[in-house]
A = this chain, B = another copy of it.
Amino acid sequence: MTRFEITILGCGSAMPTTLHNPTSQLVNLNEKLFMIDCGEGTQLQLRRYKARLNKLHSIFISHLHGDHLFGLPGLLATLALLGRTGDLHIYAHKEVELFLNPFLKYFGNQFPYKIIVIHLDPLHHQLIFENNAIRVFSFPLKHRIPTNGFRFEEKERPRHIKREMIDFYNIPLSKINEIKMGADFETSDGKLVENEILTTPPAPPRSYAYCSDTAYYPEMVPYIKGADLLYHEATYAETEHVRAKDTFHSTTRQAAEIARMANVKRLLIGHFSSRYNELDKLLNEACAVFPDTELADEGMKIVL
């Protein structure tokens, strides 16, 4: 099966700690790497966890707070040192250009590759990327500044053709692909064999939803519905729910409520406030509402 794997590079929040790096993640879909957010030190995390930088396809920046993007300059410069030539697409809110362009003008004039910035729409659900294997959607979250969540959704895959049916009906190679796509097969003596006899259905398409940073925001539920994995920030424990509200962050229970409403398969919480050295309490609070919850951690890989 095609690889669909999430690697957590950092799951801390704004104040740096020696326990957690600022936010960054990698989505590996069939050996293409999509990066979500790029906090300071991300390029070092990529090295630590042996990510193949030459497979980096594009970068998605959820919002323009430093702990989600201060790793960009170093990463972009290192890609240049490594001799990257392929275009790099960066999806971000348009204001990123106010400081990214002056940076690129000074440091990037000899980069051997091109950076293409694609503006995120902070107000609407939007298809922002599509290839033959995946669609990436962006949707609004609720934070102090424009912030978007992302959903990586595998496309419906071809049906599996049964080996023994190929032999039995003597199906020529030229017909295999269309049968995988759902076509029936006509034998040489004119008999129609229905697709369902020849194939088994593909595994259902997998999807990953990323929501950080955000206050409690049930309006996002339609966009993350049924995801195999939801990463939702849980910056604070329930005791800090007032502070969570004031800073437009979520508590553990709120993250779990969203997971429950969206009927996702698993919930991963992260973006932990630097005040927590132990995270058991956060996990327990979330699990009380949504049992299939895990704590994010640096270096964690989740295979969907």
Contacts and interface: CB of A to CB of B under 8 A. Distances in A.
Interface of A: 14-18, 21-22, 40-41, 43-44, 47-48, 64, 66, 70-71, 73-74, 77-78, 81, 95, 98-99, 101-103, 105-107
Contact of A40 (B15, B48, B74, B99): B74
Nearest to A15: B81
Contacts of A40: 40-41, 43-44, 71, 73-74
The list of the 7 closest CB pairs from A to B, nearest first, reads A40-B74, A102-B102, A66-B77, A70-B74, A99-B102, A41-B41, A70-B73
Given A41-B40, A95-B106, A74 B66 contact: yes
Contacts of A77: 14, 66, 70
13 contacts: A14-B77, A14-B81, A16-B44, A16-B47, A21-B44, A40-B44, A41-B41, A41-B44, A66-B74, A66-B77, A98-B105, A98-B106, A99-B105
Contacts of A70: 73-74, 77
Nearest to A40: B74
Among A40, A43, A77, chain B packs the most CB atoms within 10 A around the CB of: A40
A40 B48 CA distance: 15
A15 B102 contact: no
A106 B16 CA distance: 21
* Interface of chain A: mostly helix, strand, loop or mixed: helix
A144 to B, nearest CB: 11
Contacts of A106: 64, 95, 98-99
B47 A17 contact: yes
A129 to B, nearest CB: 26
A74 B16 contact: yes
A22 B73 CA distance: 13
A103 B99 contact: yes
A236 B48 CA distance: 24
A81 B16 CA distance: 11
Nearest to A42: B40
Among A16, A22, A43, A78, chain B packs the most CB atoms within 10 A around the CB of: A16
A28 to B, nearest CB: 20
A283 B70 CA distance: 34
A75 to B, nearest CB: 9
Contacts of A16: 43-44, 47, 74, 78
Nearest to A100: B102
Contacts of A47: 16-18
Contacts of A95: 106
A16 B74 CA distance: 9
A105 B98 CA distance: 9
Contacts of A44: 16, 18, 21, 40-41
Nearest to A73: B70
Contacts of A102: 98-99, 101-103
A282 B66 CA distance: 38
